[in-house]
Amino acid sequence: MKFYSADVVFPIDTASIPNGLLVTEDDGTIIACLSPDHPDYNLQNAEILAGWLVPGFVNAHCHLELSHLKNKIPQHTGLDGFVQDLMRMNNASDTEKQEAIQAADAEMQANGIVAVGDISNCSDSFALKGISKIQYFTFIERFGFNPAAADIAFESGKTLLEVLKQLPQNNKGNLTPHANYSVSIPLLRKIVHQLEIEKGIFTIHNQESASENEFFQFKTGKMVERFEKMNIPLSHFEASGKSSLEMMLPYFPSKIPLQLVHNTFSSELDIQKAIQQNSNTYFCLCPAANIYIENELPNLEWIRRNTNQITIGTDSLASNSQLDIVEELIILQNANPEIPVNELLKWGTLNGANYLGFSKRFGSFSKGKKPGIFILLDVNSFSYKINSSAKKAIV
Ligand SMILES: [Zn+2]
């Protein structure tokens, strides 16, 4: 058995414990998490650590396959500028891509990330997933705004999923659509039907830019310009007067876990309607990527007033300078100092584990879990503020 005590221990599923004592098996399996008033509390054999003891982090939204685009795309150009730069830059060699994917995985491990929901459009990240220490759930992402191309997109996704399923580990995954504006209704219907049969999990990029809502409401703006430049026909699409989420919600699954990613331009009504449609809706925040691309953050007051199912993602290195959940939490804490730190840490650990189906092992210091144990070193235990993302692995 091992014993660890720290300035504050965060079991996550219960309140934080000042001077708590974490008792584990030698391999890091949790036995107990004790407060100083517990009869079994004894520091005699304990390693006393300065800082906050937390379980491993869960990155609920990442794109490993875009890791070679680190520092390649200019910041604050807006989503439409970002997508155009992305298409222009995506010409690295296979070796460069593989090296970048391996480095990104190593960076996440060093930053205390133990599980990831990763978006894959191709098999570039599969070799790494077959050997990584991180637990991955892979979303095979499909897009195609032209309804006539739905069958091809769906079938190619199923073929890619079969390749994933051959991996010796990390072979869990399912199809998912890219974004409200990039998927046709027939393609969305096919994906949702498949996921409901498989009892899969659904995720989609949602309201990342104001131009997405403008496109759905009025069929005007930068998104129309982008479709025209790409020669994508829009004749089948009509302005609805509704936001993109409100328009697409009726086609989303209502009974399987659903994660909306970004939500930067979601109204409170959008958030309420999403929860009404599916009570198991998670709202994934990727604040560093939101600042990188649009220089805006989602309204947390509106989200928190309606749900506590919030998860954290780093998005990809194309729109982030690091893959570190703690850096994301620092941005959110600085912008919203009223949010209790235990709640923030829960978004970055247990909620992501719950959404991805990994909560038997990860997300909290509950008895029997083996969640990874990390110490946050640069924290203020009086104001409960995270000063920097400095941290160390304990187990
Ligand atoms: Zn993304």
Domain assignment of residue 367, yes or no: no
147 DSSP 8-state letter: G
Domain assignment of residue 368, yes or no: no
Domain assignment of residue 149, yes or no: yes
The CATH number of the domain where 264 resides is what?
A: 3.20.20.140
Residue among 215, 217, 247 nearest 232 (CA):
215
Residue 73 confidence (pLDDT) above 90: no
Residue 42: band (very low, low, confident or very high) from pLDDT cuts 50, 70, 90: very high
Report in angstroms the alpha-carbon separations of 238 from 235, 259, 270, 360, 375: 8, 26, 20, 45, 52
Is the domain of 257 the same as that of 386?
no
- Percent of the chain at pLDDT > 90 equals 91
For the segment 302-322, the average pLDDT, to the nearest whole number, is 97
What's the 239 CA to ligand 1 centre distance in angstroms?
25
Residue 1: the pLDDT is: 96
Q: Which residues fall within 8 angstroms of residue 44, CB to CB, at 6 or more apart?
A: none
For the segment 348-356, the average pLDDT, to the nearest whole number, is 98
Residue 139: band (very low, low, confident or very high) from pLDDT cuts 50, 70, 90: very high
Is the domain of 128 the same as that of 192?
yes
Is the domain of 21 the same as that of 105?
no
What's the 350 CA to ligand 1 centre distance in angstroms?
20
What's the 136 CA to ligand 1 centre distance in angstroms?
15
Residue 88: band (very low, low, confident or very high) from pLDDT cuts 50, 70, 90: confident
Is the domain of 253 the same as that of 131?
yes
Average pLDDT, the chain: 96
What's the 140 CA to ligand 1 centre distance in angstroms?
12
User: How would you label 111-136 residue by residue, b for 16+ Cβ within 10 Å and e otherwise?
Assistant: bbbbbbbbbbbeebbbebbeebebbb
Residue 76: the pLDDT is: 87
Q: Token pair for residue 190?
A: 């096919």
- Percent of the chain at pLDDT > 70 equals 100
pLDDT digits (tens, 9 = 90+) for 102-113: 999 999 999 999
Residue among 104, 296, 301, 285 nearest 205 (CA):
285
Is the domain of 329 the same as that of 199?
yes
If one counts the domains in the chain, the total is 2
Instruction: Decide which of 16 and 78 is more confident.
Output: 16
What's the 261 CA to ligand 1 centre distance in angstroms?
7
Dist CA 393 CA 395 (whole Å): 6
Q: Token pair for residue 341?
A: 């730190």
What's the 218 CA to ligand 1 centre distance in angstroms?
25
Residue 81: the pLDDT is: 81
Residue 90 confidence (pLDDT) above 80: no
Tokens 């891509």, residue located: 97
Dist CA 364 CA 238 (whole Å): 46
Residue 78 confidence (pLDDT) above 90: no
Is the domain of 193 the same as that of 294?
yes
Is the domain of 86 the same as that of 21?
no
pLDDT digits (tens, 9 = 90+) for 260-278: 999 999 999 999 999 999 9
Residue 233: the pLDDT is: 87
Is the domain of 277 the same as that of 162?
yes
For the segment 163-177, the average pLDDT, to the nearest whole number, is 98
For the segment 126-139, the average pLDDT, to the nearest whole number, is 98
Per 3-state DSSP, the chain is made up of helix, strand and coil in percentages (nearest 5) of 40, 20, 40
Beta bridge partners of 58: 115
Report in angstroms the alpha-carbon separations of 147 from 76, 184, 231, 250: 32, 5, 14, 17
Domain assignment of residue 88, yes or no: yes
Residue 80 confidence (pLDDT) above 90: no
What's the 299 CA to ligand 1 centre distance in angstroms?
19
For the segment 201-224, the average pLDDT, to the nearest whole number, is 95
Is the domain of 29 the same as that of 122?
no
pLDDT digits (tens, 9 = 90+) for 358-381: 999 999 999 999 999 999 999 999
Does the global pTM surpass 0.85?
Answer: yes
Domain assignment of residue 153, yes or no: yes
Is the domain of 142 the same as that of 30?
no
Domain assignment of residue 150, yes or no: yes
Is the domain of 209 the same as that of 80?
yes
Residue 77: the pLDDT is: 85
Report in angstroms the alpha-carbon separations of 128 from 171, 228, 327, 370: 12, 37, 24, 22
What's the 144 CA to ligand 1 centre distance in angstroms?
16
Residue 378 contacts residue 390 (beta carbons within 8 Å): yes
What's the 364 CA to ligand 1 centre distance in angstroms?
25
Dist CA 96 CA 101 (whole Å): 9
Residue type, 361: R
Q: Token pair for residue 215?
A: 């496109």
Residue 351 contacts residue 395 (beta carbons within 8 Å): no
Orientation angle between helical segments 222-229 and 78-89, nearest 10 degrees: 20
Containing domain of residue 384, as a range? 2-54+378-393
Residue type, 108: M
Residue 326 backbone dihedrals phi, psi, to 5 degrees: -65, -35
Is the domain of 226 the same as that of 269?
yes
Domain assignment of residue 83, yes or no: yes
Residue 79: the pLDDT is: 81
Q: Token pair for residue 264?
A: 């930067």
For the segment 53-79, the average pLDDT, to the nearest whole number, is 93
For the segment 36-62, the average pLDDT, to the nearest whole number, is 97
Domain assignment of residue 373, yes or no: no
For residues 320, 349, 55, 33, the Cα torsion angle rounded to the nearest 10 degrees is: 160
